[in-house]
Structures are given as C-alpha cells and as structure tokens.
Structure 1
C-alpha cells in the first residue's frame, strides 16, 4: 500500500470520536448523575490495562466494535463506581456518556493479563476510533491522578474535581490540571535519501527507531528537532516539516512528528542516549526487515508511520505481520 506525501492521517491514538463536553465537567454533581444513569457506558482502568473482547458487537459494546478487530468491554454503572475515581471521558454522537473508573482486581480473580485485559500498546491498533479514544484518554488521566496525589505548592493531599479533570489541594484550594509533556519525533534524511535510525542506550539488539526527545521550556518544536538531532548524533539539520501528532500516554506525552533533512552524514553519538546509530537506504531497510535483523516500532506508534512515510510503503507489505515484531 503506497503512502501519500501529505501529513500523516489516521494515526492510531489520534482517532478519538467523543465530544469531551468540557462545560459539563464544571457541575459538581455530574459524575453522580451519570453513575446513577443506566444508559451511561463505563470502562474500567486497571493499572495500564482495560478489558477487551474480539470485535463483532455484543450488548455491551455500544456499537463501537470493528468486525475483525477488538472492542472495549463497556458496562452500565454499578453502585461501587461511586466510591472509585471517576473520569468523564465525553459523549458520542447519540449523546451517550462514557465514564472511566479506576479499579483493582478483586482477591482471587484471574490475573487481568490472562483474562482479556490488555494494554494500549497491545490493543490500540485493533480498536475502532471511539474505543481507541476512550482507552487513550482514560489511561492518560489515570496515569496523571496516580502521580499527582499531593500539592506541588504545599505538599498537602489533593483530591479529584471537575469530573476527574482537576485535582484540588485540600489545604489551600489551588487547582492542578492534567500534565501533557510534548516530545518531537523525526525522520532525518541525508542527500542520498537514507534514513537515520538509532538504538537507545538501554534497548536490545535490533531495536531501532527514528530519533525523538522532549521539548524544553521556551523552545519551539522545530528548534527541539534541531537540538535533539545535534545532541544525540552530532548532525545539523537544514529544516523540519510537520507530519502529524498523537497522544502517547506512557505516561503523559504527546508526540509531534517531523521530517528533517541534512547534508551531513558523519555521526558523533552521545553514548548516554544512544547505543548506536546508522544510515539505511530503502532497499537496505527492506532487507533488514526481511532478515529479522531489525525490529520496527509498534503499529500504534507514530514512529512506525514516519518510517513508512519515508519508505513509501507499509512494513506489512514488506514482511508478513509478526515477522517484524513491534515494540
């Protein structure tokens, strides 16, 4: 399947189909009302997992399943949900409300990993747009709540407010909002059309991806691209063109994709950040995939789409699914 030269479309984690109903969050009673309404669809978050089932549609799927993919297992509210951390995720086109609740497996239950409970990395690409958006948003919020239980101003405990979109200090009342850390991720292409690939300092052999890094305070995205490439491999880029973006709740990032060009090919690797880096032509990359020497990033990652954009075809058109195991 050939890819266009336009910006990347339909990124796996950028397909949310819910209206986020931000104004409804302001009503203190909104979660209570929704959890008393049997029409509300509830999704449970357990650690970094949610319950999924094969696609095809059942009474609990709210019509969001794909025929051959996966669907989230959604249910009506139950009384215990009122005591759990609740997250108003939004409403669909029929105005059905979706609420996430953070739960723990009960004593004696089957290990969630063995009973249809999958991570977003495992399930995200196979979910329909509505379900992918629900999973991504709920996981990002749950991660934020888990790490922001205390006020950064005075150290007192904080409690959830505004339907899970705010935490309020219980001592001095300051409000704190979900954190999203922007990171740039970029292809770097030399004058011969070769792509620069890097292996992180703690990555196993064969695990290569395009370069990436967090945006620093006071820095534009394009400046971050140039800085990260210079820091990690000692190459100056001529410019960067925007490709697309997607949330990356592992635990709290948004990835902003670019393609950059350079006239320099000599690499000076930062050993703290990189184990190795290399230039590959399109033919070389295809051969590395077919031989199993190199692993491609996972299907939910914008990194995979950036590589395919450069390659001019999908990884699956080069090797059958499963041979180039994603990470």
Structure 2
C-alpha cells in the first residue's frame, strides 16, 4: 500500500556533527585550556568562508595564531572528534583573484581565490560541504546575523557585549541578557488530491527570481499562530488555494538572516482557480511528477546561465541544493502516487 511520502534525505543545512551543548560553552577554564589546540574558521562581512579549491571541508586556521586565549569576538561553535571549533571575522586578501562561479540561483558570480582557497557563501555552496563543515558554517552565520541585530538592549537601549563565548549578549547598562533569536517559517509542498501523494505539485515564482525558477510556497509564522494554521493561511494568501491534510515533514536552519524552515505537505484541488498575491507571486501553476523529475535531473549538472545564447526561458528550474525545498521536491518526485 502506498504511504505518504517523507523526506528521503537530511536537508543540506540540517547536517551537523559538532557537539554544541551549553555546558561546553559555559566552562571558560576548559575552553581557555583547549584554545591552543583549537581550530578556527573565518567568516567575512559578506557571509563567506574559505574552502580549499575542489574540497568539501572548510579551511581552518590554528587558534594559537590569534592569541593565548580566545579574542573577544571569537564564537565557540562546538567540539568534534576532540577538537574545539571557533569562528572569527576574517577577510580574503586584497590581492585575491576573482574566479567566476555559478551559484545555486543560476547566476554567474565571482569568488575570491587566494592560496588555493575559494571564499564561498553558504546559500549557494553549502551542499558541497561535508556534514561537519556544513553544520559549522550554518551555526557561525546564524550567530553572526543575530549579533549584528543585537548590539543594543531591547529594554533600555544600552550597548551590549558578547558573553558565553558568542551565545548570549549582556547589556552594559541594565544587565539584561539576550540569547540568539530564530524566526520560524513554514514551507509547504502542495500536491493534488489524486491518490496518496498526488500526481501534480503546485509551484510558484517571485518576480525577483531568475527566469524559469519555481519553488514551493513559504511564509513566516505570525504571533499567536500555529504552524499548521500558518500553512493554510500562507498558501491561501499567496495563490488562493485551500489546503487540507497538513502534515509535518522536517526542518532546516536557514540563517538568512535567522530563520528555521519547517517543512510540511498538504493537499489541494488542482482544478480550483488560483489567485496570485499581487506583487509577491508572479506566476503559479501545477506541474506533473514527470516535469519535476526532468527539471531535477537537468539541475544536477548545474543551473542554466540566463545570459547564455542558448538559454531557454521556458525551462523549469528547481530550487538550489542548499534549500529544504529541493529535498522536499526530490522526495515527492520519487514517491509513488
């Protein structure tokens, strides 16, 4: 008997191996003693980290090269295989070469290349990293984005300073402590009501996306709202579809700047008219499983270049490999109807 589809693999940015339990980062004596043997990853102002060219691990630096104890802006990321990992601000050399690369959005970009290391961003290239590196990068970027928005106290307006080695701030005026924020957002794969898993999936595109790019529907959870209620509301608001049988699939951190994506599946009537949210949704339509499979297979060899002479603007382009949307679509496409 056909069963409702589930995620067939862990989302790219949900992969993590480092032990990040609170007791590790609240023990300064332990962290200071282990600092000389620790490894440091660098994160620049554009959210990029150095990766050895053609490699799958983050390039690390020796912690002792940055002082006898962790600098004030050092963030403890966790422990893995007896090594402590930290993040520090860093920038590629000014004389770094600029190498053309293709990001997950199918756009041509440039990445600094110096000393055999490419400085890559998480959204476009997180899927290329191994589990440990993907987890470290995701954590470091999430904490960086949170810190940049938590430099002043929300109660008295006083300036804050980092404590607990990057995992909290403390107001220098009133002493209030604040911890990293995560904003929940739902993302839902809506399929038709044929059989158990449907024969078609509802995809939409925003006007700012590259040509041909479609994905499943998503939106932020509002105050006082359940996750399931958010799914129903967001799908209705964005495309006018009424969904039922909402069920949870899985989650993925999405530190752009501080979200967690909560994946769901739901059913809707494919024959009902769609009503697109003005200015937010440019187009939406139902795609067959065969069309999705073809688009997924085409995307495995890289994304089309919109500036290429043979670019086909009608080609369906799937979400990037770092997104949970990609995993959700692959899982649905390989499931029995």
Scaled by the length of structure 2, the TM-score of the pair is: 0.80
Distance 1:89 1:288, change over 3 A: closer
The alpha carbon displacement at 1:52 in A equals 0.3
* Aligned positions of 1:280-319 closer than 5 A: 280-286=287-293, 293-312=315-334
What's the counterpart of residue 53 of structure 1?
Answer: 52
Measured against aligned partners, the alpha-carbon deviations of 1:228-272 in whole angstroms (never above 9, x if no partner) come to 001111111112111111111111111111111013531011113
Task: Determine if contact 1:186/1:211 at 8 Å carries over to the other structure.
Answer: yes
Confirm whether residue 160 of structure 1 aligns to residue 170 of structure 2: no
What's the counterpart of residue 321 of structure 1?
Answer: none
Distance 1:172 1:195, change over 3 A: same
In 1, the alpha carbon distance for the partners of 2:244 and 2:212 equals 29
What's the counterpart of residue 59 of structure 2?
Answer: 73
Confirm whether residue 95 of structure 1 aligns to residue 82 of structure 2: yes
* Aligned positions of 1:18-29 closer than 5 A: 18-28=18-28
The alpha carbon displacement at 1:106 in A equals 5.7
Q: Which runs of 5+ in 1 are unaligned?
A: 56-68, 314-327
* Aligned positions of 1:153-232 closer than 5 A: 153-192=155-194, 193-232=199-238
Q: Which runs of 5+ in 2 are unaligned?
A: 99-109, 299-311
Task: Determine if contact 1:84/1:102 at 8 Å carries over to the other structure.
Answer: no
In the comparison of the two structures, how many residue pairs are matched? 295
The alpha carbon displacement at 1:95 in A equals 2.2
Helix, strand or coil at the partner of 2:111: helix
Task: Determine if contact 1:13/1:132 at 8 Å carries over to the other structure.
Answer: yes
What's the counterpart of residue 137 of structure 1?
Answer: 139
Match of 1:40 among 24, 35, 38: 38
Measured against aligned partners, the alpha-carbon deviations of 1:195-243 in whole angstroms (never above 9, x if no partner) come to 1111113223311100000111121211111110011111111121111
Task: Determine if contact 1:140/1:252 at 8 Å carries over to the other structure.
Answer: yes
In 1, the alpha carbon distance for the partners of 2:120 and 2:165 equals 25
Measured against aligned partners, the alpha-carbon deviations of 1:29-83 in whole angstroms (never above 9, x if no partner) come to 5554443x2x21111111201010146xxxxxxxxxxxxx511111211453644
Match of 1:237 among 240, 243, 248: 243
Helix, strand or coil at the partner of 1:213: strand
* Aligned positions of 1:117-128 closer than 5 A: 117-128=119-130
- Over aligned residues, Cα RMSD in angstroms? 2.4
